[in-house]
């Protein structure tokens, strides 16, 4: 594999959700330990599953992987990091300042922005603290820093004086004030990231236009801020040998080859590796060791695969929509790991509702969404929008500058403008737009395609913080009030559909998401298992083996995780356009 040739000390794997970053990062760690290198594998993903892949509990401390000499792992826990960060900021003033002031500081540090900053804090220590990582030859990061992260690391440190002068309270000045002490460490981290002798960035994608376009966008954004040494890995490529006498296999192969022949221009000159689709789940040491093996593992033959069975029968997506439609209006949110098909399913749900002459607003909070391409047309009763993070953030900045900025002198306004360039400002702006859309659900159906799981949870965290603030202010007045969080918690108003694939890791991540939602008082209404091979008719031995592997996961969802569910089969034709989206929702009945 080119991306592991003469590997530098730091390796970062990034890409759209669901492309296999974690599996490839874990397999790379095993390959380097085979070469007698001492490796630390780090996940910076809020929805990390490195421990699940190895079948062990890792957590927020460096843990030896007992079965693999020279391998240790660490999952940066954003919540634990945030608590440690809060303790570090609040600890010195507790007992010194009045309790009311301390409580106000704690409330200011309770939001999602603090969680993000704290995770960055731990991440940068691994890049710059020689004593912390001196025992390792290589440090592999599953989920690389995005341009969003780098901008946070590069923020200037003018907030302390602004706060001391009492000139403002915009966005997240409280947590940002704590960054001043870390600026030297952050600069060293950015320098290490930009040094090709120290750092290599591996863009992971599938042979799908959406994931390759995301890789191209990430390539440009990170190259523009100094991370120039990049490689491309295209994972899960379907083998031509499996296309014989199987129309679905042939369609998948043809679709992928057409995409590979038209790579985005930004990716064409990158050193590139392809990894073939495997018949087995990539959980456990044996499968991971085969993933990057020089000799490809044998593709199953008909004799290796359990006797064929007809496609599994299960409730269709249309059966769920039928129950949703009876309410007449409400919010329908599709959530889940990136790459499971939330955008397509959100479009299918919206189209199915609209064909029943029900008013529907289909929207997305996913920065990488492609709703219009999926719909490929218009439909009566259906309106479409996108919460554009850049657009709503610019609008929010203009509002703040026009109100609070009008009262400041030139120096104060300059600091306010700097603060409004922080990623936390985007969080607040997106939350406000999210809240406006929620209010529409009182009169019509609002179907929301959300961003990948970790970002969705940050948005819910902001929603919860707003709810707590309103409840505190209004509680003593006795006045009636409703917050977005209260609407999300009311099953009569909001139905959350968790989307997953019939594979071990996506189902585990979906179960973890369900736990997080329940902790926030939100009970998921249904699960949707997407792109199921077991629900399709296949003759390819590789696809039959994958279908057989799916049965256990489908049973787990149906009998353990979900109160209701639907199964959507993998289709020969991509579900793009109104007619195919309608057909998709009725498949599997």
**Residues annotated as catalytic (active site), given as ranges:** 18, 20-23, 45, 505
514 in Cβ contact with 498 (< 8 Å): yes
540 in Cβ contact with 246 (< 8 Å): yes
CA distances from 196 to 191, 193, 229, 320 (A): 10, 8, 6, 51
CA distances from 447 to 40, 366, 497 (A): 42, 13, 10
Q: How far apart are the first and last CA of the chain?
A: 43
HEC readout, 67-119 = CCCCEEEEECCHHHHHHHHHHHHHHHHECCECHHHHHHHHHHCCCHHHHHHHH
* Tokens describing residue 20: 């296999």
Q: 């594998």: which residue's tokens?
A: 41
Q: What is the phi-psi region of residue 208: left when phi exceeds 0, alpha when psi lies from -120 to 50, beta otherwise?
A: beta
Contact residues for 495 (Cβ-Cβ < 8 A; gap 6+): 324, 330, 331, 332, 333, 525, 526
Q: 């706060």: which residue's tokens?
A: 163
Nearest one of 62, 70, 38, 65 to 53, comparing CA atoms: 65
Nearest one of 505, 495, 504, 574 to 527, comparing CA atoms: 495
Element (H, E) at 48: none
CA distances from 269 to 206, 233, 237, 265, 450 (A): 17, 13, 19, 8, 33
State the Cα–Cα distance between residues 403 and 417, nearest whole angstrom. Answer: 13
**What number of CA atoms fall less than 13 Å from residue 534's CA on the CB side?**
21
**What number of CA atoms fall less than 13 Å from residue 240's CA on the CB side?**
2
Q: 């007698």: which residue's tokens?
A: 36
Pairing between strand 382-386 and 445-449?
unpaired
Which DSSP category does 267 fall into? Answer: G
Residue 164, number of CB atoms within 10 A of its CB: 9
Q: 């709503």: which residue's tokens?
A: 392
- The strand pairing partners of 501, in sequence order, are 530
Q: Specify the 3-state DSSP secondary structure of 204.
A: strand
State the Cα–Cα distance between residues 313 and 310, nearest whole angstrom. Answer: 9
State the Cα–Cα distance between residues 424 and 172, nearest whole angstrom. Answer: 6
Q: Give the residue ranges of DSSP H helices in 129-246.
A: 130-133, 147-153, 159-164, 173-177, 183-193, 209-223
Q: Specify the 3-state DSSP secondary structure of 501.
A: strand
């Amino acid at each position: 594999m080119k991306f592991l040739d003469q590997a530098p000390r730091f390796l970062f794997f990034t890409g759209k959700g669901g492309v296999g970053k974690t599996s490839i990062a874990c397999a790379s760690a095993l390959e380097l330990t085979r070469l007698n290198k001492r490796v630390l594998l780090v996940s910076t993903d809020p929805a990390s599953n490195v421990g699940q892949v190895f079948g062990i509990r890792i957590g927020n401390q460096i843990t030896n992987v007992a079965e693999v000499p020279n391998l240790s792992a660490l999952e940066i826990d954003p919540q634990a990091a945030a608590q440690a960060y809060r303790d570090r900021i609040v600890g010195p003033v507790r007992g010194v300042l009045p309790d009311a002031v301390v409580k106000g500081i704690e409330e200011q540090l309770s939001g999602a922005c603090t969680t993000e900053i704290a995770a960055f804090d731990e991440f940068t220590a691994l890049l710059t603290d020689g004593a912390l990582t001196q025992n390792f030859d290589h440090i592999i990061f599953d989920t690389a820093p995005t341009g969003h992260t780098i901008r946070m690391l590069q923020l200037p440190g003018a907030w302390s004086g602004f706060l001391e002068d009492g000139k403002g309270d915009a966005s997240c000045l409280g947590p940002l004030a704590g960054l001043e002490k870390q600026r030297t460490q952050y600069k060293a981290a950015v320098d290490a990231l930009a040094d090709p002798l120290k750092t290599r960035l591996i863009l992971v994608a599938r042979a799908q236009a959406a994931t390759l376009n995301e890789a191209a966008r990430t390539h440009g954004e990170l190259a523009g801020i100094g991370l120039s040494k990049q490689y491309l890995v295209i994972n899960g490529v379907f083998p031509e040998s499996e296309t014989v006498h199987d129309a679905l296999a042939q369609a998948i192969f043809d679709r992928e080859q057409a995409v590979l022949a038209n790579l985005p221009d930004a990716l064409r000159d990158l050193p590139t590796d392809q990894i073939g689709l495997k018949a087995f789940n990539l959980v456990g040491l044996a499968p991971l060791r085969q993933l990057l093996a020089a000799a490809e593992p044998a593709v199953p033959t008909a004799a290796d695969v359990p006797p064929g069975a007809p496609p599994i029968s299960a409730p269709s997506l249309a059966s769920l929509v039928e129950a949703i439609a009876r309410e007449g209006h409400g919010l329908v949110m599709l959530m889940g790991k990136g790459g499971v098909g939330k955008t397509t399913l959100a479009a299918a749900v919206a189209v199915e509702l609209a064909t029943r002459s029900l008013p529907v607003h289909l929207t997305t909070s996913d920065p990488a969404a492609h709703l219009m391409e999926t719909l490929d047309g218009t439909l009566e009763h259906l309106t479409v929008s996108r919460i554009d993070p850049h657009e709503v953030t610019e609008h929010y900045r203009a509002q703040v500058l026009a109100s609070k900025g009008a009262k400041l002198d030139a120096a104060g306004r300059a600091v306010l403008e700097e603060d409004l360039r922080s990623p936390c400002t985007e969080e607040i702006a997106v939350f406000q737009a999210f809240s406006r859309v929620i209010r529409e659900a009182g009169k019509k159906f609002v179907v929301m395609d959300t961003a990948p799981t970790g970002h969705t949870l940050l948005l819910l965290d902001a929603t919860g913080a707003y709810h707590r603030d309103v409840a505190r202010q209004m509680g003593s007045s006795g006045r009636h009030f409703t917050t977005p969080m209260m609407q999300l918690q009311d099953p009569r108003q909001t139905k959350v559909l968790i989307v997953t694939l019939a594979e071990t890791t996506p189902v585990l991540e979906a179960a973890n998401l369900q736990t997080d939602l329940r902790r926030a008082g939100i009970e998921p209404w249904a699960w949707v298992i997407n792109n199921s091979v077991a629900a399709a008719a296949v003759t390819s031995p590789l696809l039959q083996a994958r279908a057989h592997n799916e049965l256990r996961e489908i049973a787990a969802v149906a009998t353990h995780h979900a109160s209701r569910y639907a199964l959507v089969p993998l289709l020969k034709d991509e579900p793009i356009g109104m007619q195919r989206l309608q057909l998709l929702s009725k498949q599997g009945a």
